[in-house]
Amino acid sequence: MVIVGGGVHGLATAYYLARNHGITNVAVLEKSYIGSGGSGRNTAILRSNYLTPDGVRFYDRSLKLYERLAAELNYNVMFSRRGHLTLAHNDSSLRTMRWRAEVNKASGVDSEVIGPADIKKLVPFMDTSERARYPILGALYHPPGGIIRHDAVVWGYARAADAMGVHVHQDTELTGIDVEQGRVTGVRTSRGSIATRVVVNCTAGWSTLVANLAGVRLPVQTFPLQAAVTEPVRPFLDTVVVSGTLHVYVSQTDRGELVFGASVDPFASYSTRGTLEFVEGLAGHVLQLMPSLSTLRLLRQWAGLCDMTPDFAPIMGHTEVDGFLVDVGWGTYGFKAGPVAGETMAECVATGRTPELISAFGLRRFADGSLVGEKGAAAVGH
Amino acid sequence: MKRQTRRLDRQPGEVIDRGSPLEFGWNGRSYPAYAGDTIASALAACGERVFSRSFKYHRRRGLLTASYTDPGCIVQVGDEPNVRGAHRLVTPGMDVRSQDTWPSLAFDVKAANELVGRFLPAGFYYKTFIRPRPLWPTYERVLRRFSHGGVVSPDPLSPELSSYDKRQVHPDVLVAGGGPAGMTAAVAAARAGARVMLVEEEHSLGGHLRWGDKADLAALHDLRSLLAASGVEVLTNSVVFGRYDHNHVAIVQRGLPHVYERLVKARAKTLVVSPGLIERPYVFAGNDVPGVMLSTAVRRLINLYAVKPGDRAVVLTANPQGDAAVVDLERAGVEVAHVVDARGGDDLVRVLGRGGVKGVELVGGHRIECDLVVTAVGWTAPLTLLTMAGTVAAYDSRAARYFPGTATLPDDVLPAGGVVGDGTLDELVAHADAVGREAARRAGSMSRREPAAEIPALPVDAHPELFHGPTHGIVDFSEDVSSRDLLTAVEEGYSSAELAKRYTTATMGPTQGKLESVNVVAIIAEATGRTISQTGTTTWRPPYAPVTLGALAGRHREPVRYSPMHPWHERHGAAPLVAGAWIRPDHYGDPAGEVLAVRERVGIIDVTPIGKLDLRGPDVPKLLNLLYVNRWSKLEVGRVRYGVMCAEDGVVLDDGVTGRLGDQHYLMSTTSSGAASVWEWVESWLQTEHPGWQVHVTPVTTSYASINVAGPRSRELLGRVVAEIDLTPQAFPYMHVRTGRVAGVDGCVLWRIGFTGELSFELHVPASYGLHVWETLLDSGNDLGVRAFGIEAQRILRLEKGHLIVGQDTDGLTQAFSAGLDGLIRLDKDDFVGRSELVWQAEAAAESRLVGLHPNDASVVPEEGSQLIEAGVICGRVTSSRWSPTLHRSICLAQVATEFAEPGTLVTVRLPDGRSVPATVTEHLASVDPEGARLRG
């Protein structure tokens, strides 16, 4: 079978196909180098403190897979479980934090609402005073959340899949999907053709274009999401900090750099260039949270592409074309879901049945009107 | 105090002011310097050679480039981390310290890493610390201690580090880079009539002419005179760090009085990119030992700062600039022990010495004692701005450097000087002069009939391809990545330039590839048997130079909105509530008392932030029918109606009342938080879907001050201040609107609605009279017991009445039927936004409902967000809860699964503290006056 996209989703799918189902006659097609898309451009934050019980269950499985990934792949993916703070600057977001904490607790996930004094203890640089323009009223604290070395996840899956016989083809762009009488029969690439009965679309940014090759339309719009990194300084920030009101999330890597992300750009686009407006707004928001960081210098900015669906939930599983499966529409949270998406897609492909964990994410829901409800939590949630 | 033992006699091009001596501190000791010295030049003048320790191995590092990009001299200045010591000018009393060394720069414990250096190859981290898993957090803590960089403090910064600024400029021509090409182009553009801004990263203009010979200095003098007479605005110590769409150019300007850094945003008609060339380091064993420098570094030290960089030198040269360095060294009294001419195939094998250069080994094993090794092996073109403009860089093996593909550049970007070629100074000037004139022409500064300037192409000199010697050495000095690391990466399969870069972290450090990028690509190309062109290049990403968060943020003032009544609120002890853009009175000290005043007498509340849109035109009813779920075609003049908007997915978006003031004139109100987004929503539908509809939308939120007068005696109070409006229930019934004069103010809008559940009138008065009307109402109602009430009281009142708040009792998931809006939704009207989803929902029946809920223990107020749990499964949540002063009990609204929504159902609320309490679903959402008798009274 053929997997399109050499990011964490495609490589994890290939890995679990080989490991869990013994299917190794698999080609992963990557038009650039592995991890060159969203997998290498995200801000590598992991968490499972979602809003709906289904979301919590799904991402908690992903977090558990991530936790044991290093040992399983014999490759240190440097999962740094350092705690995750989502700040509330007004009573309405505090109410949502309480709601999330209660849903999490009911699902056995460690989350609680903490007050400004406890926030200050966790992040001494934070302006928790009442003078702040958007005073911090509290936060959702999620100790199991953290960051990971995203490239290492990609490389670890690729190496392990390769060792079991999977072929990873870099610099190989998909140019066509052959469909006969509603069935996939093969693919064409910039480096030749492959006969296959199964094609799994694990792309982001180009998922609609790949699906079009099979004649499948996806309700997906592509938006850039920008990020930036500063020069390194000595460690001072141990937790991941997210502020929905200020549209920013911050963490400090083991190398000492601060990594910043935000919500998606307001307009659909395929551009991966950064904008000046973004870094200006970002810097202003970071300094509202931590005013003494004015002298810290921004080193690099970039953008990745996010495929947004109408209900902010992914599209997974079979399509109307027999043998053409999708694992797309991951919005801004695809990286967090890499392992669980790979595991469930592999099962879906290998058994022909849709695992219960992803049964709500089928493409048909947009025709049936049974949308998934994680929109409230996913809008700005990193 | 230290002495300036290595300071030379006066040099013709020196930039130091010997008449202004000063002192500053380095690691706690006092050092002398002259005004104009950089931190590095002043320290070098006193004989210091070691300024930092390297990232991984903590090797001693000295000067390499003696410019902004020098990776060996990044220091802490007071509270400021990562200061470029080879660029920052010293000031009296400056407190400079080496970064990340312990216990001291001279003796650094972490240098032990060097001993185990062979155990820290590329990808080392990925291969180790994997088992046992429980120990990784411990390993990680140790690793984090090795992170590199300066120190930031949580304390407030000093005033000089905390003032930032922005400036907007609109030059015709912006020139990035003030070397001879940039200066010439700027002068030519200005002479052609353009308004020109010239931006230079260093502290003075002139580029390489500044460390050139007599003829160069004379030419520089002439160029400076021309420039001074040209009217060009010159920014020095400033960098163009980004070129964004439509020539929006970002500049960071440093060294201003009272402003630490300023972001200058230029909308340039034409951008000339003339950054010159960056000298490339040579990769061989020991190339990072203090005392190994680039030819430009020694020429800067000698000619600009009058510093003797060593006593006995070996020079590796492959170009005329390297030869000129030999001349400079000899003139400065440095003994040039040997010149290795790379053009003849000679090479350096290794540097001897660890803490500083003690000698070199040549091919064949011959060793020469020296304390200075100079390399001149080629140039890198900094193409960031050009690649941001769309150019694709192409490698030219004959010249051993990359060039911009000019065919891919937009018309409004012109490269000049070293990035496009070489040539004599005369050729450079002729070329840049034409670029400047053409830039002015393209900016429209000259007559349109003026023919395009013919830009003479610069010749490109042949240069040997020299990237590394016969031994392995450091490629990325900031990241401590060696050529051996790159080979390891390739051997392990990370064979594309991007993968090898990420695996080794080469080019990821503070220099961002400016020094090391081409060497990285060349070494990977060689290791993979490909050419440099086939290997490509790593992406140059913005910003070109690092820029402080302070400058990007500017003064970062978030505007705050206050209503016209705000001074009254402040005088009367209002507790401020941050509500988006607004600061509002939460309460005046006694919210329960405020509630009772409204229930029993009369209260007034400032509701100015309510969103208000003035809608005019014949097609307004069509717009209302499209955006609201209910029907609007038959709203009569003088009536108001409550409406709910849904998004396309059927999720409740906003609510509010809209009144018809005239035949084709409506006033729409929105929630306070939705004021801006609903306006955008309305405009978006009108402009993209129905451009033909005749509707004119004007946001008037802040044109009116809004006051709600509520309570059984509100009619009586209002009657005292209203003229010419009959307030009797028959003349002005519930859900009607009137316009007229209030407290002597014309043009007021009154509508009879009731969020609080009491008889109430909402006044919208011209904003400038808001305070007057507010105070008049209070003065006129003393005997009625009138009282101001705040948001908290309003929330209690509306909860008692069971009125939902969009975004609180609904959320990003709540669709209209779940919000209990069944009666409102008109699926039988023509298409409206959200209809198709609502049709599905109507068929499927909502999964949850909004209900009233009373905890059985009336004293328990469950926190909002508490979950309803039955048999271990979540079946709902409390969306609103308060203590009701009217009923003396706790009351709630809750979203519950439909099967639990029947009145009288007993449910279990799990409180955040873990306790579970029983509660009962009530018959109505309203706990007070469900029939609405008070409201309609």
pLDDT of residue A378: 40
Put simply, the answer to whether B648 touches A310 (Cβ < 8 Å) is yes
- A180, A325 Cβ separation under 8 angstroms: no
Q: How far is A232 from chain B (nearest CA, A)?
A: 5
* Per-residue pLDDT tens digits for B524-551: 999 999 999 998 776 677 899 999 999 9
CATH of domain B163-277+381-442: 3.50.50.60
Residue A70 with chain B: CB contacts under 8 Å: 130, 133, 136
Interface of A with B in 277-306 (CB under 8 A): 279-280, 282-284, 286-288, 290-302
Which of chain A's residues have a Cβ under 8 Å away from the Cβ of B510?
Answer: 231-232, 299
Check pLDDT > 70 for residue A237: yes
Complex prediction ipTM: 0.94
- Chain A residues whose CB is inside 8 A of the B148 CB are 232, 255-256
Q: What is the pLDDT of residue A249?
A: 94
Q: Do A293 and B152 touch (CB under 8 A)?
A: yes
Q: Which of A357-361, B335-339, B702-706, B820-824 has the lowest mean pLDDT?
A: B820-824
Give pLDDT tens digits for B154-207.
999 988 898 999 999 999 999 999 999 999 999 999 999 999 999 999 999 999
Which pLDDT score is estimated for B121? 67
> pLDDT confidence of B117, banded at 50, 70, 90?
low
CA atoms within 13 A on the CB side of A175: 9
Mean pLDDT score, B111-136: 65
Predicted pLDDT of residue A370: 76
Q: Does domain B467-543 have CATH number 1.25.40?
A: no
Interface list for B 845-864 with A (CB within 8 A): 863-864
Distance from CA of A109 to the nearest CA of B (A): 14
Q: Provide the pLDDT confidence category of residue B112 given band limits of 50, 70 and 90.
A: low
pLDDT tens digits, one per residue of B224-238? 999 999 999 999 999
* Helix, strand, or coil (residue B500): helix
Of A89, A106, A294, which is closest to B550 when you measure between CB atoms?
Answer: A294
Q: Which of A99, A101, A297 sits opposite B548 (nearest CB)?
A: A297
B498–A284 C-beta distance less than 8 A: no
The mean-pLDDT minimum among A360-374, B17-31, B391-405 falls in A360-374
Are the Cβ atoms of A234 and B150 closer than 8 angstroms?
yes
If pLDDT is split at 50, 70 and 90, which confidence band does B448 have? low
Neighbours of B822 (CB within 10 A): 12
Give the H or E element holding residue B221.
helix B214-228
Query: How much is the pLDDT for A374?
Result: 54
According to the model, what pLDDT value does residue B105 have?
A: 75
Report which residue type is found at A107.
Answer: S
pLDDT for B808 beyond 90: no
| Yes or no, beta carbons of B548 and A99 under 8 Å apart | no
Residues of chain B with CATH 3.10.20.440: 1-154
* Mean pLDDT over the full length of chain B: 92
Residues recorded for chain A: 382
The answer to whether the CB of B217 falls within 8 A of the CB of B465 is no
Chain B residues in contact with A151 (beta carbon < 8 A): 502-503
Mean pLDDT, residues B643-659 taken together: 90
Residues of chain B with CATH 2.40.30.110: 847-937
Span B375-402, mean pLDDT?
94
B552-561 burial, b at 16+ Cβ within 10 Å, e below that, comes to: bbbebeeeee
Residue pair B241/B543 in contact (Cβ under 8 Å)? The answer is: yes
| Beta strands B582-587; A138-142: pairing state | unpaired
| B619-647 tens-digit pLDDT | 999 999 999 999 998 899 999 999 999 98
Tell me the residues of chain B between 367 and 396 that have a Cβ less than 8 Å away from chain A: 388
CA distance B358 to B352: 5
Residue A124: list chain B partners with CB under 8 A.
Answer: 154
At the top level of CATH, the class of B612-700+815-843 is: alpha beta
> What tokens were used for A2?
């053929």
pLDDT value of residue A376: 42
Confidence of residue A283 (pLDDT cuts 50, 70, 90): very high
Across the interface, do A155 and B126 touch by the CB < 8 Å criterion?
A: yes
| Fold (CATH) for B586-610+703-806 | Gyrase A; domain 2 (3.30.1360)
Tell if the CB–CB gap between B866 and A297 is shorter than 8 Å. Answer: no
Q: Chain A neighbours among B 571-630 (CB < 8 Å)?
A: 578-580
Chain-chain contact of A92 with B808 (C-beta, under 8 angstroms) = yes
Statement: residue A380 has pLDDT above 60: no
Tell whether A120 lies on the interface with B, counting CB pairs under 8 A: no
Give Cβ neighbours of residue B801 (< 8 Å, ≥ 6 apart). Answer: B754, B755, B756, B757, B926, B927, B928, B929, B935
Q: Tell me, yes or no, if B496 comes closer than 8 A to chain A by beta carbon.
A: yes
pLDDT, position B116: 53
Nearest to B140 among A74, A80, A113 (CB): A80
For residue A104, the SS3 value is: helix
Query: 521-580 in B: which are within 8 Å (CB) of A?
Result: 541-543, 546-554, 556, 558, 560, 578-580
- Tokens for B394, please give them: 């192409």
Q: What is the pLDDT of residue B114?
A: 60
B134 touches chain A (CB under 8 A): no
**Structure tokens, B501:** 């870069």
Residues of chain B with CATH 1.10.10: 467-543
Peptide bond just before B132 cis, omega within 30 deg: yes
User: Does residue A86 contact residue A140 with C-beta atoms inside 8 Å?
Assistant: yes
Q: Which residue of A has its CA nearest to B124?
A: A76
Closest residue on chain A to B647 (Cα): A310
For CATH 3.30.70.1400, the residue range(s) in chain B are 612-700+815-843
* Residue, of B124 and B733, whose pLDDT is higher: B733
> Is the domain covering B847-937 a CATH 2.40.30.110 domain?
yes
| Residue A109, pLDDT score | 92
Q: Over chain A, what is the mean pLDDT?
A: 92
User: Of the given ranges (A17-21, A152-156, B841-845), which has the lowest mean pLDDT?
Assistant: B841-845
Tokens of B67: 């410019």
Shortest CA gap B284–chain A (Å)? 26
CA angle (A350, A355, A359) in 5-degree steps: 130
Residue A133, chain B, CB below 8 Å: the answer is: yes
Mutation target vs A (from B124, B252, B387, B549; most A CBs, 10 A cutoff)? B549
| CATH 3.50.50.60, chain B: domain bounds | 163-277+381-442, 281-377
Kindly report the CATH class assigned to B281-377.
Answer: alpha beta
Average pLDDT over residues A32-42: 94
Contact B147 A234 (CB under 8 A): yes
Strands B196-199 and A167-169: unpaired
List chain A residues with CB under 8 Å of B242: 276
Q: How far is B150 from chain A (nearest CA, A)?
A: 5
Q: Is there a contact between A299 and B244 if contact means CB atoms under 8 Å apart?
A: no
Whether the CB of B910 is below 8 Å from some CB of chain A: the reply is yes
Is B133 an 8 Å CB contact of chain A?
yes
**Cβ–Cβ of B136/A76 closer than 8 Å?**
yes
Nearest CA in chain B to A369: B840
- Which residues on chain B are in Cβ contact (under 8 Å) with A106? 867, 869, 874, 910
CB spacing of A288 vs B556 below 8 angstroms: yes
Mean pLDDT of B129-149: 71
Q: How far apart are CA A235 and CA B151, in angstroms?
A: 8
Residue B129 contacts A where some CB pair is shorter than 8 Å: yes
Work out the average pLDDT over A167-188. Answer: 97
Q: Tens of pLDDT along B747-792?
A: 999 999 988 999 999 999 999 999 999 999 999 999 999 999 999 9
Place of tokens 């797309």: A328
pLDDT in tens, B905-926: 999 999 999 999 999 999 999 9
d(CA A5, nearest CA chain B) in Å: 16
Could you give the C-alpha distances from B610 to B188, B326, B654, B670, B714, in angstroms and in order? 57, 75, 12, 6, 20
CB-defined contacts A:B, below 8 A: 256
* Cβ <8 Å between A103 and B874: yes
Q: Domains plus CATH for chain A?
A: 2-76+149-220+310-378 (3.50.50.60), 81-144+221-306 (3.30.9.10)
Q: Is B154 an interface residue toward A (CB < 8 Å)?
A: yes
pLDDT confidence band for B54 (50 / 70 / 90): confident
Mark yes or no for CB contact B152/A234 under 8 Å. yes
Give B551's contacts in chain A (Cβ within 8 Å): 283
**Which pLDDT belongs to residue B138?**
74
Give the pLDDT score at B17. 98
Architecture of domain B1-154: Roll (3.10)
Residue B338's alpha-carbon distances to B286, B334, B347, B362, B468, in angstroms, are 18, 12, 12, 10, 20
What's the Cα-to-Cα distance from A251 to each of A121, A152, A183, A317, B82, rounded to whole Å? 16, 18, 46, 33, 19
**Which among A34, A233, A379 has the least Cβ separation from residue B812?**
A379
Is residue B509 a contact partner of residue B548, using CB atoms and an 8 Å limit? Answer: no
Mean pLDDT calculated for residue range B362-378 = 97
Tens-place pLDDT, residues B474-513: 999 999 999 999 999 999 999 888 999 999 999 988 888 8
